[in-house]
A and B are shown apart, each in its own frame.
Chain A
């Protein structure tokens, strides 16, 4: 990879300086120059340059020799995360996308399931589109633990050689796959929001946001197999259920050493909150400093309840201890992408926006017409939330007949 300035084209306009997140560019004698110690080849300057004066030479898929041994790897695998014996919906989303990818490549779609007494779930995974399910069933795998899970998954991958492995970008998925990628020396792309195939080169094109969604990057893994990604929850469409689908369940097991964990899971504590899990919610009603005091979160909770949604909070509200950290949406909290996000009294600092701007519909209620939240809002309401929220809750109650 290399980057250079074409001096003939550079006008010294300095647009690139502001675009560089790493302050690697300077203009000397009316020509831009790039400090290679600081440059990470992110490409932001290329976008900013109006004169095509910056050239980034990257490895493009067509320039890569396709090593023979990579061809031993085939099939698309979905790691099907389960909690308390229930396959998580993110796995069904990945089966939906995985089916498309496998069909494009002309290979099988396979689920991978680790747990205890999971045979029925393996069948469900077939009904969601998998041709095969690799099942490792053991009491030792009942609950997720980093070491046994990563050892089992690494061994399965080495044995059956998939070309693609996808996994939800959840707290389990990210902890697990990061370890597996090291163990089997595979490339891993985090938190993808787009997946496609370069058919000619048989490469997985993995697209993901960086810099809190301000830049998108497409990433490939040319010389290592499998190509692995974690994928953001709620971005892909769930696979449909078809009870007529037939597939094969391949049960495998390993020695006791493989199941051994140095860490011990002592307890699982489910925090019973007034509403559902933020990352799973289709609707989120969020409150910020504009609520003025913690008691006023009741209004948010009420609307969320009517809509069957979850309660979110801005960092300001969490730092003021109006809501616990598990409700925080944004850079230092959770990234969410529900169907509807209703922001009430949240001004919309960039740190908040990066956590919710991929929501399908954003509604913003704020009394300041210049609040940045309106720049991402699908529907903006400039007004007093203390008047609007109760009215809105009442109206939804009527319409939804609750």
Chain B
């Protein structure tokens, strides 16, 4: 079974704080991490491989330093990694990103399952996974919280909804996006770490792919960012003091109108 996981390197928001004066991001250090949802995608791919055999290939599109994310994925048990990086891809929105990744997946070929995290924590769009499956014209199951069964030709999975979940069966190849509930990612093994150090990461540029240059990067992106600004800061809080009884009375008074 050939499983491909598409991951993204994102700034680690654990270290992101808001500067109360300028209300912008303060980042100490230069730390980037694998998008947390993609960690579940990698773990699920490795579990499928352990059960059914085969190969896990990790793909990321990003700047050269995204190689670190790929090496980390290898340390966790992935077999191969491909870095898709080119100035021509810079400024891609979700349309252009999913187009480029779909061409990468075409070039890899013969995949059974493609796994993505449900969304990335920097952009929070949740559009790239479904975008890839649309470009490839393959079925998708989004927000997967459990894979119930996989055979050589089909997958059955639980898709999380607002009210509960749906059980969906799909032929392979199929793209799934996964949520946190699906598994608990492992830590890298010593063997994995050694492999990650030695492994040669493939690097693909635009010229290595069958792509229409007009559909890449900023030019291939229908959406354009015209303005970036800080959100208005939340109005300063009021501290309510007193004993439990007094506090409750005050708070109920303040909230009464909203709760009726």
Interface residues of A, Cβ cutoff 8 Å to B: 1, 15, 18-23, 36-44, 46-48, 58-61, 83, 146-147, 150, 170-172, 174-175, 178-179, 181-183, 185-191, 205, 209-224, 261-271, 277-280, 283, 307-308, 325-326, 328, 331-333, 335, 339-340, 349-351, 354, 357, 360-364, 374-384, 387-388, 390-392, 394-396, 399-400
Interface residues of B, Cβ cutoff 8 Å to A: 11, 13-14, 16-18, 20, 22, 24-28, 30, 32, 36-37, 63-65, 87, 90-91, 93-95, 98-99, 121-131, 133-135, 139-143, 145, 156, 158-171, 174, 179-181, 218, 221-231, 234-235, 237-241, 243-245, 247-249, 251-252, 254-256, 258-260
With the chains together, A168 CA to B163 CA distance in Å? 16
Q: Knowing A215-B228, A216-B231, A266-B156 touch, does A191 contact B252 (C-beta < 8 A)?
A: no
Beta-carbon contact of A211 and B13 below 8 Å: yes
Beta-carbon contact of A280 and B162 below 8 Å: yes
14 A–B contact pairs at CB < 8 A? A22-B32, A181-B94, A187-B221, A189-B223, A212-B124, A214-B231, A219-B226, A220-B226, A221-B224, A265-B167, A266-B169, A268-B167, A354-B13, A360-B258
With the chains together, A326 CA to B143 CA distance in Å? 12
Beta-carbon contact of A307 and B259 below 8 Å: yes
Beta-carbon contact of B222 and A268 below 8 Å: no
Beta-carbon contact of A188 and B25 below 8 Å: no
Beta-carbon contact of B167 and A267 below 8 Å: yes
Beta-carbon contact of B142 and A174 below 8 Å: yes
Cβ contacts under 8 Å, A61 to chain B: 226
Q: Knowing A350-B13, A395-B249 touch, does A270 contact B163 (C-beta < 8 A)?
A: yes
- Which of A60, A211, A269, A377 is the most central at the interface, judged by chain B CB atoms within 10 Å of its CB? A211
Cβ contacts under 8 Å, A190 to chain B: 94, 123-127
Beta-carbon contact of B171 and A339 below 8 Å: no
CB closest chain-A residue, reference B156:
A266
Cβ contacts under 8 Å, B258 to chain A: 283, 339-340, 360-361
Shortest CB-to-CB span from B255 to chain A, Å, is 6
Of A222, A360, A363, the contact of B224 (CB 8 Å cutoff): A222
Of B36, B126, B222, the contact of A185 (CB 8 Å cutoff): B222
CB closest chain-A residue, reference B221:
A187
4 closest pairs, A vs B, by CB?
Answer: A187-B222, A43-B228, A178-B130, A23-B30
Beta-carbon contact of A382 and B228 below 8 Å: no
With the chains together, A56 CA to B236 CA distance in Å? 32
Cβ contacts under 8 Å, B37 to chain A: 332
Cβ contacts under 8 Å, B256 to chain A: 399
Shortest CB-to-CB span from A26 to chain B, Å, is 10
Cβ contacts under 8 Å, A214 to chain B: 16, 18, 24-25, 230-231
Q: Knowing A44-B24, A332-B36, A381-B247 touch, does A174 contact B121 (C-beta < 8 A)?
A: no
CB closest chain-A residue, reference B20:
A375
CB closest chain-A residue, reference B141:
A263
Beta-carbon contact of A351 and B94 below 8 Å: no
Beta-carbon contact of A266 and B168 below 8 Å: yes
Cβ contacts under 8 Å, B226 to chain A: 58-61, 205, 218-220
Of B11, B64, B225, B230, the contact of A218 (CB 8 Å cutoff): B225
Cβ contacts under 8 Å, A374 to chain B: 237, 239
Of A332, A340, A391, the contact of B248 (CB 8 Å cutoff): A391
Cβ contacts under 8 Å, B254 to chain A: 379
Cβ contacts under 8 Å, B13 to chain A: 211-212, 331, 350-351, 354
Shortest CB-to-CB span from A195 to chain B, Å, is 14
Q: Knowing A178-B131, A217-B225, A283-B259 touch, does A376 contact B28 (C-beta < 8 A)?
A: no
